[in-house]
A and B are shown apart, each in its own frame.
Chain A
Amino acid sequence: MMRHVGRKIPKIDGIALVKGAPAYTSDLDINNNALTVKLLRSPHASAEIVAIDKKQALAVPGVECILTYEDVPDTPFTLAGQSFPEPSPYDRRILDKWVRYVGDEVAIVAAVDEKTALEAIAKIQVTYNVLPPVLDPAEAIGNPVLVHRSQPHTNFDIGCVASKNIAAADTIGQGDVEAVLASCEVVVESRYRTQAQAHAMMETYRATTCFDVNNRLQVMSSTQIPFHVRRLLSRVLDIPRSRIKILKPRVGGGFGGKQTAAVEIFPAMVTVKTGKPARLVYTRNESFCCTTSRHAMELTVRLGSDRQGNIKAVDIYCLSDTGAYGEHAPTVFWVVGQKTMPLYAAAKAWRYHGHAVYTNKTPGGALRGYGATQGTFALESAINELAEKLAMDPAELRLHNLIREKECHGALCGSAPGHPARLESSSLAACIERGKELVGWQKNYPCRTSVDGTKRRGYGMAVTMQGSGIAGIDTGSVTLKLNEDGFFTLAHGASDMGQGSDTVLCQLAADVLEVELEQVVVTSFDLDTLPYDPGAYASSGAYVTGNAALRAALEMKEKMCLSAARLLEVAPDEVQYRDGRFLAAKGESLTLSELAGKLCSFAGKEQLVATGTFGGATSPPPFVAGFAEVEVDLMTGQCDVVDYVALVDCGTVLNKNLARIQVEGGIVMGIGLALYEDVRYSARGRLATGSFMEYKIPSRQDVGEIRVEFIESHEPTGPFGAKSIGEVVCNTPAPAIVQAIYNATGYRCRQLPATAEKILLAPGPGGQKQV
């Protein structure tokens, strides 16, 4: 009996947030005595620090401390928030003698206020030995200019070879791809480039630190990964984890950015050094220039098929630009393959290979989609090109070759050598069919011209998959506590950043416990009170932590029945629980609140707590079929996405509102990626898009119609049949829109974004010029 799952339930914190209640890090951090922390940053893309003179800066009244690489621990680490042992290389220090990109930290300054800190920063004199940078990822491998001069520690082999500027490398596959390609009647080979994209979450990065009343280092942070932050700080600062207290308030958006511990270490270092509270709030410019962005990639795709459209081979070579540090470098690179190769299961020969390389630029990192977005653009663009070469409907080509339920594929997350994981749920074929209906595919594809001939509408499509958590690694827990009048506290560390995991987990628990939603209250703020969870990433909330909530609730129900049996003095198997009431076979009964009251009385003496833990052996993929209708102004190159239709298989939809908004928000982020969002650099490696003036994210005037429908499959391993939703939704817009532009204009954009300039400067229909 589902009462909450599947409904349109508002987010439990929604009303308060809209009304402006203080809920975020800077709202709760109201210690007026906290020092303001600012960072002196490198103006050079690559340099050695020869000398730092901080005398004049220290003389500024109100300056508390100035820390350079000589003042802080030398422990190498990674800022990537990943389960230990992290795959990312330990290639950075808190501060280093070597700076590796424009914006790299040189000194930490703490002062009584911002003005004083900035004045001090201006007075620090640094002598640099400026070195030539390597900026182009295509020239990184084997370049005599090295981003890292020594080989960083890695927890296991990720193919890192610092002496060649390689952060990570890998090859996975099956069959002889070269031989199969050579024997194919039709081969498509294309090279695609995806740009770096900024997270641009509305709340910039921030953390505030102090020693609490028990003399523990307290860190309040806007983070997706509170447990990883604690582990990281403990290691780098050499403080036992038991001496660190982490608080996670509401988070003003993250999108993966806050899966990297970008800021916590700096105020923590100041508090450790001075004993005083400290606060660091990144400016928007720092958020753009000095954190992470989506890894820019160059992807070479080769597809082979017969003339009937039976795809025989898929090969993708990926060159990923991880910038100055390897945060998420191996994993984003792997995910490109994991979330593309399984799609066309008809291809029995497949290979994914390549390198993530260091350059002297802002580091790459986790961003919603995490490699799948880049891989999907390349693979789906190539599929569209193959369809054209075969003179086939691209929807039909996909339907003919896509993985189906109960098929296995060795690239699916959770596969082991010789044991490919199995796809248990998919409604992707139905998604494609329904999408065709909704956009009038048969009638409209590939394009139509406006009445006056100056505008043309084109249509395109793409499909994608993601995962639900990281199979065999990430493990989340939920603890439920029965309170004295029969309501429950649900404690979890899944780190809601707006997607609504606090709400959805309560829905799941309330359904199992057969109570109203209001009877489950959530706590997710203070790590001391929360069971372990890796955090909000890898699309794990609904599936991994959701499964943990389900298990916790089932265990709680069992424990309550045992306690009710004891109090009713009947055998445990004589008690049944239904809708908040325990019924014994002979007619005696207890309400939930009576039970709860008795258990905390002298007579009952029992505090009920139940914990559920889940880690997935597989990572069930959600799917999206995306259809774009664009209108291109042939006079200006302006491209409007007038209609975007997304058909989504996320298994059971746990919350119709929150799922729909996730889809709409992801699509708009994907539209930005497709058309204009672009992290750009100057010739000397300075990031040129450091504000919302230079880095355009979509505004509400840029968004046309978006139509979302869910076609539910049932994932047998998911809570109530659910899979994830958060990331898969931003993958289809780029390839679908680019295909639609091609169908409207004849210009095929293989290098994102497809700006108006590129569209206009390309030759007319049929030109197929590569820009």
Chain B
Amino acid sequence: MRIDTRINGRDVVLEIEEGEFLARTLRRYGYLSVKEGCETGSCALCTVWLDNSPVLACATLSGRVSGHEITTIEAVAEEAGAFAEFMVAEGAEQCGFCSPGFTMTVLAMKRELKNPTDEEINHYLAGNLCRCSGYKGQLRAVRKFMGVK
């Protein structure tokens, strides 16, 4: 089946399988920053933006993004790079496999929250799992990136 959608600012036509989820489709089309870590919508490695809001690509049917706009980290490289500087300054990326999805959630949070508390940050990012870092270094990086006072 064929859908018209917009990915990273470009109109595209995607050929998708019946019942295919967006994470698979995006990887098939070469958006390799999108990682898959579970089959249950539990880890948020696959976070991308659908119309500028973070969604789990593994739980979004590709057929439903027809007519909508998808953003992966490739399209926000500059802002992601700015956040990445804070992440690596803390060593908080470690294996890095959860980082792109995590970063997409962080960038969305920055648009929504001003001067958040630690609780608000942790609440917003709660769905993004990481097994390496223990989260504290990520929190330090996020605080600095958000300019938390």
Contacts and interface: CB of A to CB of B under 8 A. Distances in A.
Interface of A: 8, 10-11, 13-15, 17-24, 26-27, 115, 199-204, 250-255, 283-285, 497-500, 655, 657-658, 660-661, 663-669, 691-693, 697-701, 703, 706
B43 A692 contact: yes
A202 B130 contact: yes
B74 A252 contact: no
Given A661-B137, A665-B133, A692-B38, A19 B95 contact: no
B100 interface: yes
Contact of B40 (A251, A284, A655, A657): A284
A20 B99 contact: yes
Contact of A250 (B80, B95, B98): B95
Contacts of B130: 202, 700
Closest 7 CB pairs of A and B: A20-B33, A498-B95, A17-B96, A252-B97, A14-B88, A664-B134, A657-B91
B15 interface: no
A692 B72 CA distance: 24
B147 interface: no
Contacts of B135: 664, 668, 698-700, 703
Given A283-B39, A497-B95, A202 B131 contact: yes
B53 interface: no
Given A203-B95, A660-B137, A693 B42 contact: yes
B35 A661 contact: no
Interface in B15-38: 17, 27, 32-35, 37-38
A664 B133 CA distance: 6
B126 interface: yes
A20 B72 contact: yes
A283 B38 CA distance: 7
Interface in B43-59: 43, 45
A58 to B, nearest CB: 23
Given A18-B88, A497-B95, A666 B134 contact: yes
B100 A285 contact: no
A669 B134 CA distance: 7
B88 A10 contact: yes
B1 to A, nearest CB: 14
Contacts of B122: 700-701
Contact of A253 (B17, B126, B131, B137): B131
Contacts of B138: 700
A703 B40 contact: no
Interface of B: 17, 27, 32-35, 37-40, 42-43, 45, 72-74, 77, 80-81, 83-85, 87-100, 103, 122-123, 125-139
Given A10-B91, A251-B95, A498 B39 contact: no
B97 A19 contact: no
B95 A14 contact: no
A26 B72 CA distance: 18
Given A200-B131, A700-B126, A284 B83 contact: no
Nearest to A201: B131
Contact of B84 (A14, A202, A252, A667): A14
A497 B99 CA distance: 14
Contacts of A500: 91, 94
Contacts of B27: 26
A700 B87 CA distance: 16
A438 B90 CA distance: 23
Given A253-B131, A660-B137, A701-B123, A202 B90 contact: no
A497 B132 CA distance: 10
B97 A20 contact: no
A255 B87 CA distance: 21
Contacts of B83: 18
10 contacts: A19-B73, A19-B84, A24-B35, A203-B97, A284-B40, A661-B92, A664-B136, A691-B39, A697-B131, A701-B126
Given A19-B81, A660-B91, 11 more contacts: A17-B95, A17-B96, A20-B33, A27-B32, A202-B132, A498-B96, A661-B90, A661-B137, A663-B134, A664-B136, A693-B42
A19 B133 CA distance: 17
Given A692-B42, A700-B139, A15 B95 contact: no
Nearest to B128: A700
Given A253-B132, A285-B39, A19 B80 contact: yes
Nearest to A705: B136
A318 B137 CA distance: 36
B88 A253 contact: no
A398 to B, nearest CB: 25
With most chain B CB atoms within 10 A of its CB, the pick from A202, A283, A706 is: A202
A175 B131 CA distance: 43
Contacts of B129: 202, 692, 697, 699
B109 to A, nearest CB: 13
Nearest to B99: A18
Contact of A703 (B87, B96, B136): B136
B131 A20 contact: no
Contacts of B32: 20, 22, 26-27
Given A19-B73, A661-B91, A691-B38, A667 B134 contact: yes
Contacts of B126: 699-701
With most chain B CB atoms within 10 A of its CB, the pick from A17, A285, A699 is: A17
Given A498-B94, A499-B94, A691-B40, A18 B100 contact: yes
